[in-house]
Structure 1
């Protein structure tokens, strides 16, 4: 008989990194063939702007999730419960109610963290108690060794599994090298993420100002759903800073339409202020784009300095502009990095590698 695993995880909508990984796991033929699986959607939000907010509708949605978990635990004796848990904030308090149920039924638990923040909450005495309760007799999956300090106070490294994210490779067309793709000197920069200040939108805009002052010709395309930065606010900024000809915003794009932006770009820029292991950087690797990104979270596992792109300090506009300029003026370097990016993606971050590694981790967790 196959081991029984209850997966409690984020699933779209809304679309964000943890939800996409949850969807990949739910649809994994390998995971479903190896284990007797049950999936319960943990999310209580339907839209990005609802995340982190309260309200009666969210309370009702949380009650429904709890009821589904309770019924599942009563109906079947699961050998393992996998949970994509939030690390802090309102999401952690919500997830804590599910953790309580799992512990009440004395279930073996493995957590999968897609965010961080425990390190900055643990100075609060009440939070220390909650974290100790949550982590006691459990194991955890984290995305990178760079993220272990966030949970170190509560989880011994022997109880940690390291699992980098993985995504399906592009299926629409193969990227071309710069000299095959470009007939003009205009360089195209791509930012693709939700339009949030924390993702470094304004940092990149400031870098664009520096590039323009130096007389460089470029287009910078912002692709992503509007979040705490509105379309009106963004356009007002462009007008005020005289960037309307260089910078364009396109809103959220998905599927083939999204990947067309990757293929039509020369450089991918992700100057995030707070991140763990962004899936969008894996997409950039898979399409052969050199990356300029913040040295933040697990990003150094994705971007190899000088080989697949450049790492820059957070909020360092001058260094960001300098690295973008270096790539703009060196198409041969971009080509070299494009080849290295694709090689790194298929070696380390393909979905096949991810699901194989997850299968091994779940089997080890079952035996622990």
Structure 2
């Protein structure tokens, strides 16, 4: 252990559950299992889920003060692996960690989980632009989720310093599921939404599409799971209560999440979320044998095509409804996609592939 590298992972960890948080958890656990690494972490998560990511609030400032009190951990680390936000505040709240790391000549890796940073940077005023460039530009390496998302780091880092690493599914989701997949059918639409319930992730569009299924007497059942932004919680729960055959499950994890994904046959994700990157939820839905409906947005087209389901228009409940009807009326064709998605995800998005690449970047 004397020659082991010490990596400090700084970013959000569950709860609440987000793709970024889950990714950090997997990296932390993977690093702890490696004999040549000693892993520590600083959790920057807020306790409450809020859709207004990137906006300023005194709660966020207080939270930032609390985790910055752990800055002494930087001096003991060899490598900092940081997953900053994509707003100016989301960058600046990591400033002390980055500045101290540079003073101590630590290796810095930044991993961006989305496609908004380049837009935010373009809109910044000159002084804030300079601050953002100095902070992100201090990194020795940067990681994005796909080639199309490299533009989020290109204002700060040379191209040769930017790596692409696909997201992943957790191993347990694909374990001992062959019999269940063999018996999955599309005789009845079993619709899943599994993500944070946010306006920009299209939850209200999906509920409006389900209302059309109900009005037209289509045979369906829907299960909705995830955190709800507190500001729209009452409206969403009211809408769900007005629909037949729709259940809100709250936050689901581990076996409950796996059982939900295996229960369903169509996974609907109508996102236009400005911070979206490469949603882990889509990968999880594929490996558990679901037909996908999602938007042509952010890094989604690099992991999803018409071979995996159907693209849907943003902010368009009618289009979601029509694509659900298309699947319902062509069940034999889409039955084959259930099998294809499982095999495709197992080949391309194993956690092992993700971890091997991340840990190689950390230890090189």
Following superposition, the deviation at residue 356 of structure 1 comes to 1.1
- Provide the C-alpha distance between the structure 2 equivalents of 1:32 and 1:58, rounded to a whole number of angstroms: 32
The partner residue of 1:151 within 144, 150, 153 is 153
| Matching of residues 1-368 of structure 1 within 5 Å | 1-28=3-30, 32-49=33-50, 54-55=57-58, 59-69=61-71, 71-74=72-75, 76=76, 78-121=77-120, 122-124=122-124, 125-138=126-139, 139-169=141-171, 170=173, 173-174=176-177, 180-181=183-184, 185-228=187-230, 230-238=232-240, 244-274=243-273, 275-303=276-304, 305-363=305-363, 366=364
After superposition, give the CA deviation of every residue in 1:20-63 in whole Å (9 maximum; x if it has no partner): 1111111116x6425332322231412324975644x6545433
- Distance in 2 of aligned mates of 1:89 and 1:137: 16
Instruction: Indicate conservation of the 8 Å contact 1:18/1:114, yes or no.
Output: yes
Pairs aligned (count): 354
Runs of 5+ unmatched residues, structure 1: none
Would the aligned equivalents of 1:208 and 1:321 in 2 still touch at CA under 8 Å? yes
Deviation at residue 265 of structure 1 after TM alignment = 1.1
> Segments of 4+ in structure 1 off by > 4 A?
50-53, 57-61, 175-179, 228-231
1:9–1:234 Cα change, 3 Å: closer
Given that residues 114 and 298 in structure 2 are in contact (C-alpha distance below 8 angstroms), is that contact kept between their aligned partners in structure 1?
A: no
Q: C-alpha offsets along residues 52-91 of structure 1, whole Å, 9 cap, x if unaligned?
A: 5644x6545433432323x2233x3x44321111121432
Q: What is the SS of the residue equivalent to 1:292?
A: strand
Separation (CA, whole Å) in 1 of partners of 2:250 and 2:232: 10
Deviation at 1:176, TM superposition (A): 5.1
- RMSD between superposed Cα atoms in Å: 2.6
In structure 2, the CA distance between the partners of 1:38 and 1:60, relative to structure 1 (3 Å rule), is: farther
TM-score, reference length from structure 2: 0.87
Tell me the distance in 1 between the aligned counterparts of 2:308 and 2:85: 31
Mapped contact 1:135–1:154 kept (Cα < 8 A): yes
